Amino acid sequence: MAMTKPGKVQNLSILIIISGVLNILGGGLLALLIIIGTIGIGLLCTPILVLPMVLGVAEIIYGINMMADPPRIEEPSLTIAILEICSILFGNIFGLVVGVINLVFINDQELKAYFESLK
């Protein structure tokens, strides 16, 4: 029997979705500025500049799946949390904060018990 969904799950999923949107917007803006600023030569950097946007899409999908009732994930993702922290390399301070909060919540006993009850 599943427990009632803790508020932390809802809060975390909202923060992850917001971080995803910021990653998409920030990554797109950064890519656009570099391409325009270098008069097109920055297109060579496009594969690297697309990484925050890919992370943003993954965060949005993950956040929406976590927000569902019951969540369509088996447990919080350590990979997403680490990649959110790494997004500081692209200037996303909010992503760093959300990644740290995500890591703290992953180790929270209440959330561990909730996701364990879903299995």
CA distances from residue 66 to 6, 17, 50, 51, 62 in whole angstroms, order as listed: 12, 10, 24, 22, 6
13-66 confidence digits (pLDDT tens): 999 999 999 999 988 888 888 888 888 787 887 788 788 999 999 999 999 999
- Residue 68 is predicted with a pLDDT of 86
What is this structure's pTM?
Answer: 0.87
Q: How confident is the model at residue 83 (pLDDT cuts 50, 70, 90)?
A: very high
For the chain, which residues make up each domain, given as ranges? 14-25+52-118
84-101 confidence digits (pLDDT tens): 999 898 888 999 999 999
Pick 12 or 74 by higher pLDDT. Answer: 12
